[in-house]
Amino acid sequence: MLTPKLFRREIILHAKNAAKITPLCPHAPPNDMCGGCTFQDIAYSDQITAKTKALIALWGDLLPPTIPTPTVVASPDPLHYRTRMDFIASKERFGLRRGGKFNYIIDLTTCHLVPTEAFAIAHDIWQQAIAAGVPDYNLRTHVGILRYIVVRRSPDNRYMLALITSAPDDNAEAAIAAIAQAALVNPAIVGIHWLRNDTPSDVSFGTPYKHWGEQLLPMRVGNNVLHIGPNTFFQNNVYLLDDMLAHIGAAVPAGQHVADLYGGVGTIALHLAESAQSVHCVESFAESIDLCHANILTNLRTNVTAEVADVGEFLRKTTRTFDTMVLDPPRVGLGELVCKEILRHSPQRVVYVSCNPLSQIEDAKILSERYDMTSLIGYDMFPQTPHFETLAIFDRRS
């Protein structure tokens, strides 16, 4: 069984002899680094080489000799690429965790993974909150209010901010409202959300509490405009998403009935709608499906439907047939149940996007009962880190 430790070891193994460069960030290796970009001292071309070698090594003998040797597609810009950044407010620091240290926060004065303006906006709101007497949250003692400031960014460099707090007191109520209203003077800021997380769990999501400005952030993706909320999952590389969608679109023959499983707000479904006969989007997170329905209407797509359902349960119960299934699961992958259901439905093609090559490999072993891999490519959705995504295509044997 492949493990995350093995995955990271493979990446490090192939990166250790890479050319070293002077990083932009003062917290990059070998200094007191945060966990945001641990490869920033490695030349970007060598990051791509290391990831490509690791991808090939991880798949090993499972790679069919009939397919082209996999490569990892580089991000057009290895910096300022993220569409979402979650900055921690704790112990009078604003930043990210130190690599491998949950409770140690590196106090950042800049971050090169988002536009300079995006970091400045989030950092300024944190400074104002502290100055207004809103205490940040201590991860160890669970005392304090302000936990995270999340900045979400569109391809047009417009921003949605989310402040995640524990239960507020009267001072925090007034201070956060004043800070949010003042921040909206900046025309680049579309809206600000206040989310509540009153539990000890350390997550950068929460229950909507209040908001100022627009509720949703429009994301221009190809020929579509997708609206996302503060808790919505969305691909995190603003530069590579269109490229990946084009590859997915080319893998799905025109005129087919397509299932978009783990479909989120409809990013893939709406892209495929341009050539498919029908696309059905399935997602277990109700808020995302609500947004998917709205995005279908906004983009005038009459051949896309969507429903809230667990993917395994949907496949077990549905009587619909699909020519192609497109899958974009979370890091845990599909799992045996979903893989077995795919085998039972037996679509002609499976297009599998993965943010975790390890779980994708385990799923591929099950799918190999009836399917052959005909293509594998990596996408460097996370430059400056050991992570990347993969896109595998499986065709049913006749």
Quote the pLDDT of residue 19: 72
What tens digit of pLDDT does each residue of 236-275 get? 999 999 999 999 999 999 999 999 999 999 999 999 999 9
Quote the pLDDT of residue 155: 93
Band the pLDDT of 14: cuts 50, 70, 90. confident
Q: Tell me the pTM.
A: 0.93
Any domain includes 124: yes
Quote the pLDDT of residue 60: 92
When pLDDT is averaged across residues 342-353 and rounded to a whole number, the result is 98
When pLDDT is averaged across residues 222-226 and rounded to a whole number, the result is 94
Band the pLDDT of 3: cuts 50, 70, 90. low
Q: Is the pLDDT of residue 31 over 80?
A: no
- Give 140 or 226, the one with higher predicted confidence: 226
66-70, 80-84, 99-103, 313-317: lowest mean pLDDT where? 99-103
Quote the pLDDT of residue 37: 84
Positions annotated as catalytic residues are 355
Domain range enclosing 122 = 84-215
Q: Is the pLDDT of residue 23 over 90?
A: no
Q: Which residues of 155-192 are buried (b: 16+ CB within 10 A; e: fewer)?
A: eeebbbbbbbbbebeeebeebbeebbeebeeeeebbbb
Quote the pLDDT of residue 100: 65
Which CATH number do you get for residue 92?
Answer: 2.40.50.1070
- Give 282 or 13, the one with higher predicted confidence: 282
When pLDDT is averaged across residues 217-236 and rounded to a whole number, the result is 94
- Give 10 or 375, the one with higher predicted confidence: 375
When pLDDT is averaged across residues 74-91 and rounded to a whole number, the result is 95
Quote the pLDDT of residue 26: 73
Quote the pLDDT of residue 1: 47
Single-letter code of the amino acid located at 250: A
When pLDDT is averaged across residues 368-382 and rounded to a whole number, the result is 97
Nearest in space to 166 (alpha carbons), one of 194, 149, 151, 144 = 144
Any domain includes 126: yes
Quote the pLDDT of residue 371: 98
Q: Is the pLDDT of residue 8 over 50?
A: yes
Averaged pLDDT of the chain: 93
Report angle CA 101, 106, 111 to the nearest 5 degrees.
125
Band the pLDDT of 4: cuts 50, 70, 90. low
Quote the pLDDT of residue 5: 65
Any domain includes 371: no
User: Long-range contacts for 60-69 (Cβ within 8 Å, ≥24 apart)?
Assistant: 62/361, 62/364, 62/365, 62/373, 63/373, 63/376, 64/372, 64/373, 64/374, 66/374, 67/373, 67/374, 67/375, 67/376, 68/375
Q: Is the pLDDT of residue 2 over 60?
A: no
Any domain includes 189: yes
How far is it, in rounded angstroms, from Cα 325 to Cα 322?
Answer: 7
Any domain includes 349: no
What tens digit of pLDDT does each residue of 99-131 get? 666 678 889 999 999 999 999 999 999 999 999
- What's the structural domain count of the chain? 1
Strand arrangement of the beta sheet that strand 72-73 belongs to: 72-73, 371-379, 389-396, 349-354, 324-327, 257-261, 278-283, 304-308
